[in-house]
Amino acid sequence: MWQMLLSKKRYYSDDEIKEDENQEYYRSSFHKDYDRIIFSNSFRRLSKKTQVHPLSKNDHVHNRLTHSLEVASVGRSLGLRVGEFLSKKYPHEINPYDVAYIIQTACLAHDIGNPPFGHAGEEVIKEWFETNRNEDFLKELSQNEIEDFIYIDGNAQSFRVVTQIENNLFGGGMNLTFATLGALVKYPHPSSNCKNIGKSKFNYFQSEAKFFKLLFDELGLSKADGAFKRHPLSYLMEAADDICYGLLDLQDALELKIITLMDVKNIFTLICGEEEVAKVYANECIEDTKKVSKLVAISIHNLAVHTMEIFEENFDDIVSDNQPKDLIDLFTKKEFQTAIKEAKNLGSQKIFNEKRKIELELGAYNIIETLLENLMHASYELYKKEDESKLSFRNKRALELMGENRPHKMQSLYGMYQRVVDYIVGMTDNHAKYVANQLNGMGI
C-alpha cells in the first residue's frame, strides 16, 4: 500500500509518466519537489498576496508566502514524527525523511492557487459568475463547467497550477511526484459535489478530472463506487494549516491593534496552561506582541504534538474507506478544540469585521469585477469571431494586456475562460490593482 502512496512517478503527458531513476542520496525525488515549489514564480508571488489583511503597510503582518513557510515548518515536524511511526510499522517501505519532505512540500503549495485579496477575492469571483450565469456568454458552458467557476476554490486552483500551469504549460506543470500531489489534496471531488455536501470546497476542475483519476488510481486511492479517498498524509498538511492560521491571525490582529492581550488570554490558557500564560503576561520587560509570539510558539508545539498522537491513534480509520473528516475533529483534549473555536469566533467578531479590512475588501471587489468584466467579454468575442483580426479594438487590446496568458482560438470556451481566471488568480494584490486601473483608464 505505502509503496503506491509514496509513488515517485511524475506526469509529463498521457504518453509519458516516469519515475526518477537517478537519485542522489542527498537529494531525493521529494526533495526535488520542494525545490520546484520554492523556486517557482507562482510561489514567489505569494509574498504580495493577502493572507487576512489586504495591502497592509505593517511589515510584520503575514502574507501568503510567510504563512505558507510557517505551515511548511509545522508540516515537516509532523511528517518526521509520523514518518518514524510508519517506518516501525512498515520498516522496508518508509523513510521518515521522505514523509517529512512530502508533507512540507504539500504545505508550501497549499495556497499557491489563491487569488489576490485572500478569500475576499475568491468570493468576488464566485459571486460574479453566479450573478452572470444566465447571460449569453456563459450559457454555452455545461453545468459542470459553470459550477467550476461558481464554486471556484483555491484548493482546485492550486492543484491546477502545479499540474498544468507553472513551468510546463499543459505539460504536467511542475511535474511533481504523485505522492506530493496526493498529499496536497484535501477535498478529492469535483465542483459538482458542492451542491450535495453543501460546501464550496473541492480539489479539481473538469479540465483536470482525467488526470486526477489517473493520479488517484496510481496512488491506490480510488473506491469501488468511483469516488476517491484522501491520501493519509493530506491530513497532516491540513492540520499544519489549521494550527497556524488560527493562531497567527491573532498575532497579526494584535500587531495591528485590532484586538488586545486580554482578548486572547483564555485561548492561550486553554492550550498552554494557566501557569505558563500568567508567567508570560506578568513579564513587564517585553511588549504585548512579543508575549503573544511566545505563547503562539508554545501553542503550536502543544497542538502539533497532540495532532501526531491523534494521527497514530486513528491510523486504521485514516487509511480505511471510511475516513474521518479531519484530525482536529478527533482531538481528545477538548480544551484544545475549545481554544480553536474561540480563536475562530474572535476572528469573526473582531478581526474579519475590522473597518479598514472591510473598506479594502470592497475595493478588491471593484478591482476583480473590472478584470472579469473586461477579460471575460473579450474572450467571448474571440470565441465567437471567425476571424480574430475582426475583434473590437477594446477587446483586442484587453487580451493583449494578458500577454502569454491570453486565451487562443483553438481552445474551447471553457478553456478560454479558465485562462482568464488563471491570469487573475495568479496576480498579486498590487498587480491586480494596477491592471484594473489600466482597464478603467485611471493609469494614464
Total domains, the chain: 3
Confidence class for position 350, pLDDT limits 50, 70, 90: confident
Same domain, 262 and 203: no
Same domain, 295 and 366: no
Handedness of CA 112, 116, 118, 122 (dihedral sign): negative
- Range 373-378 average pLDDT: 96
Please give the residue that has the higher pLDDT: either 237 or 249. Answer: 237
Q: Which domain holds residue 333?
A: 243-351
The CA–CA distances, whole Å, from 376 to 57, 214, 267, 369 equal 32, 31, 45, 10
Are the C-beta atoms of residues 410 and 440 closer than 8 Å to each other?
Answer: no
Same domain, 335 and 420: no
Looking at the fold, whether 303 and 369 belong to one and the same domain comes out as no
pTM of this structure: 0.94
Give 354's pLDDT tier (boundaries 50, 70, 90). Answer: confident
Please give the pLDDT value at position 327: 95
pLDDT mean over 244-257: 85
pLDDT tens digit sequence for 25-57: 678 999 999 999 999 999 999 998 877 666 666
- Quickly count: other Cβ atoms within 10 Å of residue 186's Cβ: 22
Residues 269 and 398 in one domain: no
Residue 412's CATH number: 1.10.3550.10
Residue 99 has pLDDT above 60, yes or no: yes
CATH of the domain at 264: 1.10.3410
Co-location of 174 and 200 in the same domain: yes
93, part of any domain: yes
Window from 92-96, 164-168, 415-419 with minimum mean pLDDT:
92-96
The per-residue pLDDT for range 51-64, each reduced to its tens digit, is 766 666 656 677 89
* Spatial separation of the C-alpha atoms in residues 161 and 163, rounded to whole Å: 6
pLDDT tens by residue, 163-219: 999 999 999 999 999 999 999 999 999 998 887 655 679 999 999 999 999 999 999
Bridge partners (DSSP) of residue 11 are 17
Q: How far, CA to CA in Å, does 160 sit from each of 29, 54, 234? A: 21, 24, 17
In a domain, 229, yes or no: no
What pLDDT, on the 0 to 100 scale, is given for residue 56? 65
Spatial distance between the Cα atoms of 234 and 58, rounded to a whole number of angstroms: 33
Q: Are residues 144 and 33 in the same domain?
A: yes
| Banded pLDDT at 118 (limits 50, 70, 90) | confident
Same structural domain for residues 55 and 81?
A: yes
Does 179 share its domain with 43? yes
Mean pLDDT of 116-142: 93
Q: Is the predicted pLDDT of residue 444 greater than 80, yes or no?
A: no
- What nine digits make up the cell of 265? 488570554
Containing 18, the helix (H) or strand (E) segment is: strand 16-19
Locate 151 and state its grid cell: 464554486
